[in-house]
Structure 1
Amino acid sequence: MIDYKELIPADFAPDSRVWVYQSSRLFMMSEALHVEDLLNNFAANWQSHGAPVKGYGNLFYGQFIILMADERATGVSGCSTDSSVRLIKQIEQLFKVNMFDRQMLSFLVKDKVQMLPLSQLQYAVNNNFISPDTLYFNNLVQTKEELENKWLIPVKDSWLAKRVTMSL
């Protein structure tokens, strides 16, 4: 399993803003290449009130689109955030995926991304599909530092721990 942290640009400030979008399915290789082209093009041309945004976009684990903006150079305005959301909606339409389903959870199980609806979380815990140590993709991270340290975390260290009854 690749260490995703190696893909994050080192020259972005720790407080760079991050947005994580989770696809409802794994992108096929040809789709993933197309998505990466769209992300690279977007990041290269990302602007806020006419000023270039120091931006980065990449596809992680074939399923997570991560956008990052280093605001020490140029702050990201509502308009520039809107343009990133338009890009994600364009990707949704192009590839017939859902990128905004916050009820779908993702876990790293046996080096594969496994998805589970929030409504089935307790069932998965009760039947030992999910344990306190199962790695969870915490897509609520908001900064580069959180992406590096709090994106892929054990269930017991995430907000999910409060939602389920676990036997440790």
Structure 2
Amino acid sequence: MSTIQQQLPADFHPQSRVWIYQSNRPFGEQETKEINEQLHQFTAQWLSHGDKVKGWGALFFNQVIVILADESQAGVSGCSTDSSVRIIKSLEQQYDVNLFDRLLLGFLVDGKVQLLPMVQLPYALEKGKVTMDTLYLNNTVQTKAELETRWLVPLGESWLKTRLAKVS
């Protein structure tokens, strides 16, 4: 069992929806505690059309927020999705970070997230800063099952492989 699987709630359906927000910087120890507490408070009172959403959220690698919603009992409406985005925007302001930059690629190096602008990926590969075996944070995963099996993948097995083939 991967460490990711061990950190996720076991009682959530494999098709639970996932939202991933990668920060442009790591959070400190105190910030991490505060963010995890705020995520816990948010998911404990998360509602969709008055029904309780079975939600969960946590910070991974001190830099990546993961939110889950198990829709096996109650679906997540547009309004409840908006409320999750509001908490993320609030965290952005509170900690002066960017959590919505989709052009910043995350790689896991020695247990820490290393960020790289997408346009610099070919150069980083050429210089050996990353390789096709470097773990890439595939933040496009949409379900808990995908999060467990396809979130941390070698760069050469990610969707970026086809983009890199066009460059080389």
Give the TM-score, by structure 2 length: 0.95
Q: Equivalent residue for 1:139?
A: 139
Give SS of 1:59's match: strand
The whole-number CA distance in structure 1 between the counterparts of 2:113 and 2:145 is 22
Give the match for residue 101 of structure 2.
101
Q: How much identity, in percent, do the aligned residues show?
A: 53
Which residue does 1:54 correspond to in 2?
54
Return structure 1 stretches of 4+ with deviation > 3 angstroms: none
CA-to-aligned-CA distance 1:21-59 (integer Å, 9 cap, x gap): 001100011111110110000010000000000000111
Q: Which runs of 5+ in 1 are unaligned?
A: none
Equivalent residues in 2 for 1:30-69, closer than 5 Å: 30-69=30-69
Per-residue CA deviation, residues 85-115 of structure 1 (Å, 9 max, x unaligned), is 0000000000000000000001011222111
Whichever residue aligns with residue 136 of structure 1, its letter is: Y
d(CA) in 2 for partners of 1:44, 1:164? 42
Contact 1:104 1:117 in 2 (8 A): yes
CA contact (8 A) 1:122 1:165 kept: no
Matches of 1:132 and 1:34, distance apart in 2: 35
Preserved contact between residue 61 and residue 111 of structure 2 (Cα < 8 Å):
no
TM norm structure 1: 0.95
- The one-letter amino acid paired with 1:62 is N
CA offset digits 1:123-167 (Å, max 9, x no partner): 00001111111100000000000000000000011011112249x
Alignment partners' CA distance in 1, 2:42 and 2:112: 28
Residue aligned with 2:139, SS: coil
Partners of 1:18 and 1:165 lie apart in 2 by: 29
* Matched pairs, number: 165
For residues 114 and 86 of structure 1, the distance between their equivalents in structure 2, rounded to whole angstroms, comes to 26
Q: Is the 8 A contact 1:47 1:80 kept in 2?
A: yes
Residue 136 of structure 1: SS of its match in structure 2? strand
Structure 2: give runs of 5+ residues left out of the alignment: none
